[in-house]
Structure 1
């Protein structure tokens, strides 16, 4: 039976998306070598035909190749059918990852993404990470101009702190905040989720399946391709993985009782966080995509939600959620506007 994918509103400015999106990163980058273009275009078309119309990419995926792929996939697809999100801000400086929120760079990045995607307007444009040297008001000021010029429709932030979200929203309304959120990554619940809800901002969880952990458990590591950056993640190191296996086993036991897969149960938990939440699980296989939309049919009682959370509580899960927590600008603040001297 086909799953009907509901629509939800993100933010209060009018952006409407499918209740589940499709993260496109792994098609081109970071999770092993790029996948065959023809297969990925088929997958994107299948997603859109199934009612998953919210696609997520970034200029850094590849870099650039994922945006080009999405541009090709959308050729001949009615543009108004799709809500397309991309991101700017992660750059490479002297071979190391850097973040840039300078207004000149913001504009140049937007123009380049429009060209690669081969579209006139980006539906949702995120700051992929927060430049801790540039006041968020300065970055947002340029994004506001891009909205006024019709180059982007809506603005979002990724991995910003609650105070940065508040300051940004005061310059121009944010439609969405994208953060990692899954059964075993819940640090945003304390401050970021309440702040978004107070301000009427939608929440877009990335890696809602724990970067594949809730699909495969510890077996994930045996199947990772050469160059897959998950191999560096603390949670997937042998001594942590040995303990984290128990989390997967407990969730799997409950999924068996519920008559669904482990990944569907983990994803359903994210969906049950609210009608302002749109997770964007990524995949490169149509059968996995179909499994993921099946999560929309899984219903959980408050008691089952609590039970699931107890399996993956912060004291049970071992290892940080990212390999380089300190330098990935997670939940970042920016300096005050008064400190800014434009070059």
Structure 2
């Protein structure tokens, strides 16, 4: 499975993307064969002329973004099309009605949501089946377990867990902020700022991984995989070696006692999971209203 979106890239001063991830994926699809991959991408985020991001779930915007994605990817249809964030100014029913039309037209196969609340998922699913939701889920971020995850399972909706390695905190690779590039978004993440980063190090988890003969990343991913067969973690990496390492997590078996021990090894975290501006667009801002 390849999960991409044009928004995952840098932008120029005019708000236009410098490099398009979808175009790079399109080259890979052409080289290795479209039928070998499940392609997921997203819509719903835009960047204005001032470089400011905005959210839109309006029908015309959806169609415009899909057309551009299909062109960049060089394909006729997207397998799984996610709404990146919920648009507070557009009823989810209106957005889903457009997505249903796109399914009927053969331009997308399945519909997904990202950072949706339980209520939004129910309302969306009533218009057209939602196949998957993409939510942050890791040993460090477990909020969804008592809320939207339960709703998803009730409705038979799969859960794609993003940032399953806690944005790197669970890998043991980040000793200080010096290990994070100045351009890295984690520089603004509350859990990585000086003081918080030191408190948030999962030292006990690293020791458990060593004792089991696996890497901390593998153990953290194995924990996510043990959440259920309906959960698919999507760790990101730029390294082929890390990709192979991550895949090894699928072979790790954990007992109930081991799972409990792993959970107990996570420190009390300091700082929210993302910056204040982004947090306002995430599901928690509406789930607990």
Q: TM-score, normalised by structure 1?
A: 0.78
Q: Structure 1 segments of 4 or more deviating over 4 A?
A: 325-328
8 Å contact kept, 2:199–2:269: yes
CA-to-partner distance for each residue in 1:51-108, whole Å, 9 max, x for gaps?
A: xxx1111121124611011001111323222101000111124432211111110011
Determine the structure 1 residue equivalent to 2:227.
273
1:164/1:319 CA distance change after superposition, 3 Å: same
For the residues of structure 2 that align with 1:292 and 1:82, how far apart are their CA atoms?
A: 19
Determine the structure 1 residue equivalent to 2:270.
318
Determine the structure 1 residue equivalent to 2:22.
67
For the residues of structure 1 that align with 2:255 and 2:261, how far apart are their CA atoms?
A: 10
Determine the structure 1 residue equivalent to 2:161.
205
Whether 1:78 aligns to 2:25 is: no
CA-to-partner distance for each residue in 1:24-56, whole Å, 9 max, x for gaps?
A: xxxxxxxxxxxxxxxxxxxxxxxxxxxxxx111
8 Å contact kept, 1:208–1:270: yes
For the residues of structure 1 that align with 2:172 and 2:99, how far apart are their CA atoms?
A: 39
8 Å contact kept, 2:168–2:174: no
SS of the equivalent of 1:243 reads: helix
Which structure is richer in relative contact order (CA contacts within 8 A, separation 6 or more)? 1
SS of the equivalent of 1:154 reads: strand
1:88-127 equivalences under 5 Å are 88-93=43-48, 94-127=50-83
Determine the structure 2 residue equivalent to 1:57.
4
8 Å contact kept, 1:161–1:333: yes
Q: TM-score, normalised by structure 2?
A: 0.92
SS of the equivalent of 1:177 reads: strand
SS of the equivalent of 1:216 reads: coil
**Per-residue deviation at 1:307?**
1.5
1:167/1:333 CA distance change after superposition, 3 Å: farther
8 Å contact kept, 2:177–2:193: no
For the residues of structure 2 that align with 1:151 and 1:238, how far apart are their CA atoms?
A: 46
SS of the equivalent of 2:228 reads: coil
Among candidates 115, 135, 142, match of residue 159 of structure 1: 115
8 Å contact kept, 2:137–2:164: yes
Residues paired across the two proteins, number: 277
For the residues of structure 2 that align with 1:76 and 1:326, how far apart are their CA atoms?
A: 36
For the residues of structure 1 that align with 2:151 and 2:90, how far apart are their CA atoms?
A: 22
1:168/1:220 CA distance change after superposition, 3 Å: farther
SS of the equivalent of 1:215 reads: coil
1:192/1:320 CA distance change after superposition, 3 Å: same
For the residues of structure 1 that align with 2:234 and 2:280, how far apart are their CA atoms?
A: 20
**Per-residue deviation at 1:326?**
5.7
For the residues of structure 2 that align with 1:198 and 1:211, how far apart are their CA atoms?
A: 29
CA-to-partner distance for each residue in 1:123-143, whole Å, 9 max, x for gaps?
A: 000000010111000011111
Whether 1:258 aligns to 2:212 is: yes
Structure 1: stretches of 5+ with no match in the other structure? 1-53, 335-343
